[in-house]
């Protein structure tokens, strides 16, 4: 009887793991010319680490983003259409026969990610979601091996830095790799904060509308002064590349089995996965303190005091007085980089 139970358990385990393997193999990770990806389908990387599909980010407005994310995370690691959300479920990602990669919809012009030149004679083109989270449009050799990369999502980061992504500058093309925060928690358009690499100072910097709020300190002995000084080497491998073609910073996670993604928030905070590890806290940089990598900057006298913080609040404006229409414009430059306009008794979010 014991042997029978053991045999049944072995068969059940075999069927379970076989089904997982079948699911990985059955899921698409590649688009070929003529293929599409609509709101009811998705791409899954070869080992199932990342998925790509249309996600509704605001159910009140029913708008969607085409996103790449860790399969086990709700956070968006990359967004294809951050400047142009699309009504759900109208978006369709298409790799057409002319090797143009674009998002089409019924609400205006397509969002073109890559457009092949008219003189291009490239063939055997595919768009593949890799287990690194990189979505790559590439030309393949006759044996199926990669020949050249035409376009890749890693060249256009949003607010998340994945292992293998770059921050820096391509000297040949002039292309800059940097992060930019969301404008608000509900709008992915570029906000006030950026994270970039300063190749001359060998430092990472968080800026708010061009003003440096935080610096990592120079890179020495494999680490930065203000990035987890006591444990960064236990978590990350940092790499700096500098040559005539490019200058950039990148990193990899020591624990390859876990999830790592550096997220830049609307408030200027930089954290690793699920807000469990703080990389930088520019939201605590007031222009008058230098702790933790915070930088001093010029500001109007008596505008702010050490320890002051600004927070976004929602409310209503109820004007009083004569019947004459009152027109009041108030601009508040808050830490959340939100401008509020009070106009004729109404609050407008810009």
Predicted confidence (pLDDT) per residue in 171-224, tens digit? 999 999 999 999 999 999 999 999 999 999 999 999 999 999 999 999 999 999
Structure tokens at 42: 């998705």
- For residue 101, give the H/E element and its range: strand 101-104
In sequence order, what DSSP letters do the residues of 249-308 get, joined into one string? EEEEES-TTS---EEE-TTSEEEEGGGTEEEEEGGG--SS--GGGB------TTS--TT-
pTM above 0.75? Answer: yes
pLDDT value at residue 319: 54
Q: How many CA atoms lie within 13 A of 23 on its CB side?
A: 9
327 pLDDT exceeds 60?
Answer: no
Instruction: Note the pLDDT tens digit of each residue in 32-72.
Output: 999 999 999 999 999 999 999 999 998 888 999 999 999 99
Q: Which residue has the tokens 């993604």?
A: 261
Residue spans of the domains in the chain: they are 27-154, 157-307, 310-350
CATH class as words, domain 27-154: mainly beta
Would you state the pLDDT for residue 59?
Answer: 83
Among 124-128, 143-147, 161-165, 274-278, the minimum mean pLDDT is found in: 274-278
User: Span 227-239, mean pLDDT?
Assistant: 93
Q: How confident is the model at residue 349 (pLDDT cuts 50, 70, 90)?
A: very low
pLDDT digits (tens, 9 = 90+) for 109-118: 999 999 987 6
Pairing mode of beta strands 236-242, 179-184: unpaired
Alpha carbon distance 165, 173 (integer Å): 17
Strands 262-264, 176-177: parallel, antiparallel or unpaired by DSSP? unpaired
How far is it, in rounded angstroms, from Cα 186 to Cα 60? 11
State the pLDDT at residue 13: 46
What distance in Å separates the CA atoms of residue 31 and residue 128, rounded to the nearest whole number?
A: 6
């Amino acid at each position: 009887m014991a042997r029978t139970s053991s045999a049944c358990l072995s068969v059940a385990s075999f069927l379970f793991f076989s089904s997982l393997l079948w699911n990985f193999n059955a899921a698409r990770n590649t688009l070929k010319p003529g293929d599409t990806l609509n709101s009811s389908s998705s791409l899954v990387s070869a080992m199932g680490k990342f998925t790509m599909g249309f996600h509704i980010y605001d159910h009140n407005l029913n708008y969607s983003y085409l996103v790449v994310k860790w399969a086990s995370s709700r956070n968006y690691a990359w967004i294809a259409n951050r400047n142009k959300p699309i009504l759900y479920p109208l978006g369709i990602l298409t790799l057409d026969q002319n090797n143009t990669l674009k998002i089409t919809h019924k609400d205006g012009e397509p969002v073109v990610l890559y457009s092949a030149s008219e003189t291009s004679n490239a063939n055997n083109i595919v768009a593949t979601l890799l287990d690194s989270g990189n979505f790559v449009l590439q030309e393949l050799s006759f044996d199926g091996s990669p020949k050249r990369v035409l376009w890749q999502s890693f060249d256009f980061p949003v607010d998340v830095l994945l292992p293998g992504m770059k921050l820096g500058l391509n000297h040949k093309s002039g292309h800059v790799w940097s992060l930019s925060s969301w404008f608000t928690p509900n709008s992915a358009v570029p906000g006030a904060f950026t994270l970039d690499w300063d190749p001359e100072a060998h430092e990472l910097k968080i800026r708010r509308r061009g003003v440096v709020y935080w610096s990592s300190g120079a890179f020495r002995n494999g680490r930065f002064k203000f990035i987890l000084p006591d444990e960064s080497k236990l978590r990350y491998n940092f790499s700096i590349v500098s040559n005539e073609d490019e200058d950039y910073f990148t990193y990899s996670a020591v624990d390859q089995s876990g999830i790592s993604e550096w997220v830049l928030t609307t408030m200027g905070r930089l954290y690793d996965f699920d807000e469990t590890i703080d990389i930088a806290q520019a939201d605590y940089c007031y222009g008058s303190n230098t702790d933790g990598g915070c930088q001093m900057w010029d500001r109007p006298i008596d505008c702010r005091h050490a320890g002051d913080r600004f927070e976004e609040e929602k409310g209503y404006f109820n004007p009083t007085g004569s019947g004459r229409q009152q027109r009041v414009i108030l601009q508040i430059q808050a830490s959340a980089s939100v401008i509020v306009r009070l106009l004729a008794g109404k609050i407008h979010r810009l």
